[in-house]
Amino acid sequence: MTATPRAEYRWTHRHLLGLEQLSAADIRFLLQTARGFEEVSTRSIKKVPALRGRVVVNLFFEDSTRTRVSFNLAASRLSADVLDISAKGSSVAKGETLTDTARNIEAMGVDVIVCRHSLSGAAHQLARAVRCSVINAGDGQHEHPTQGLLDIYTLARRLGREDFDLSGVTVALVGDIAHSRVARSNVHGLVKLGARVILVGPPTLLPSSMTELGCELSSDFDAVLPRVDAINMLRIQFERIQSQAFPSVREYAHFFGLTERRLARAKPDVLVMHPGPVNRGIEIESAVADGPQSTILEQVTNGLAVRMACLFLVTGSRTGEAGGASSTATPAAAGATPVTATGAAPAPTSKGTVGGMGVS
């Protein structure tokens, strides 16, 4: 009897627009790829040649600190040329459309556009308009896929889930669920990887439609706390809340703020997460944000490896005439230290070509 050969996984996504479009296998492959890149940032010379000769443009139409800097550094660490463009100071300020701006940028030989925009669907619109890869760095209230990925990466690494299987793990996402692209991306990713997700917030910020994504909803934070392995505190999106969603900030903080006192109700080793930027004293007390259970800065650190993986995979997919980066398209092939699902270094891969990039 001959053994059936195991089907080789193949990354086929030219764009990264949201976690809704990715399968569990895609997400695991991306996070494993990030695991391989983690080590690059610990070197004295923090660079691998994977994207040498490629051009990445950060096109940010909304404010950002973490995501913009992280993509910039991630592209630099992969040896790409990086350009940063903001709405202010560009021809967008003169009335040029998003599509026209992107097409003009692409005409200069760009390989990846990383886009942040206040309108939900902006990244999808760009992806339809250009031939290069598009990565969504946050679109309105829709998705923030790289934030979702780095949150999941941090959670899995902290819990020792090196295979990125989150079965049996319960996560509470707390706060302004209605306006949160971070919540939506986390939900898609966490549920696909097997986690149980409880969305917590005032009823006015807790759309019942989220149950269709496989989540539980609750407005009783204190009752949820003892059940969870991680609490991801979301920022109140003051810039997106148009009507009076809750009586006062003080009342919101009273019922949904994570204080030291409230944290004492949770499991002793519960993880405290926040995507940033933090409204200190509103959704989270400073002592908790800076406390021993907080993973906030670790999330930021992990974002670099995750974004390196995203850039690496979408460019490999685009150039791969044979169709996408395969399971042999590893960070090791691009010059990073290889890491397996169990954290051990595997045998070196065969000559690594990443979707035709010729990285060997």
Q: Which of 52, 66, 158, 227 binds ligand CP (CB under 6 A)?
A: 66
* CA proximity to 30, closest of 60, 50, 10, 46: 10
CA pair distance 326, 83, nearest whole angstrom: 28
CA pair distance 118, 271, nearest whole angstrom: 30
Task: Give least dist CB 76 to ligand CP, A.
Answer: 17
Phi (first) and psi of residue 73, to 5 degrees: -65, -40
User: In this chain, which stretch among 28-36, 103-111, 241-249, 275-283 interacts with ligand CP, using CB under 6 A?
Assistant: 275-283
Residue 147 binds ligand CP, judged by CB under 6 A: yes
Return the DSSP state at 258.
Answer: B
Query: Which residue type sits at 169?
Result: V
For the chain, the straight-line distance linking the first and the last C-alpha, in angstroms and rounded, comes to 37
Output the CA torsion 38→75→156→323 (10° steps). -110
User: In this chain, which stretch among 63-71, 72-80, 171-179, 259-267 interacts with ligand CP, using CB under 6 A?
Assistant: 63-71
- Tell me the number of residues near ligand CP by CB under 6 A: 10
Residue 276 binds ligand CP, judged by CB under 6 A: yes
| String marking each residue 99-138 x if it binds ligand CP according to CB under 6 A | ---------------------------------------x
Task: Give least dist CB 63 to ligand CP, A.
Answer: 6
Residue 275 binds ligand CP, judged by CB under 6 A: yes
Residue 277 binds ligand CP, judged by CB under 6 A: yes
138 vs 189, which CB is nearer to ligand CP? 138
Residue 65 binds ligand CP, judged by CB under 6 A: yes
Task: Give least dist CB 103 to ligand CP, A.
Answer: 25
123 vs 332, which CB is nearer to ligand CP? 123
Helices and strands per DSSP (H, E), number in the chain = 11, 11
Task: Give least dist CB 151 to ligand CP, A.
Answer: 9
User: In this chain, which stretch among 73-81, 188-196, 197-205, 272-280 interacts with ligand CP, using CB under 6 A?
Assistant: 272-280
In Å, how far are 72, 102, 108 from 83, measured between CA atoms?
A: 8, 13, 12
| String marking each residue 214-253 x if it binds ligand CP according to CB under 6 A | ----------------------------------------
* CA proximity to 147, closest of 207, 189, 86, 206: 189
32 vs 58, which CB is nearer to ligand CP? 58
CA pair distance 255, 282, nearest whole angstrom: 10
User: In this chain, which stretch among 7-15, 64-72, 283-291, 306-314 interacts with ligand CP, using CB under 6 A?
Assistant: 64-72
Instruction: Please check whether residue 321 is in contact with residue 356, taking contact to mean a CB–CB distance below 8 angstroms.
Output: yes
CA pair distance 271, 156, nearest whole angstrom: 11
User: In this chain, which stretch among 86-94, 104-112, 213-221, 269-277 interacts with ligand CP, using CB under 6 A?
Assistant: 269-277
180 vs 315, which CB is nearer to ligand CP? 180
CA pair distance 77, 360, nearest whole angstrom: 17
CA pair distance 322, 116, nearest whole angstrom: 31
Q: How many residues does the chain have?
A: 360
Q: Which two tokens stand for residue 289?
A: 């944000």
147 vs 295, which CB is nearer to ligand CP? 147
Q: Where do contacts with ligand CP occur on this chain (CB under 6 A)?
A: 64-67, 138, 144, 147, 275-277
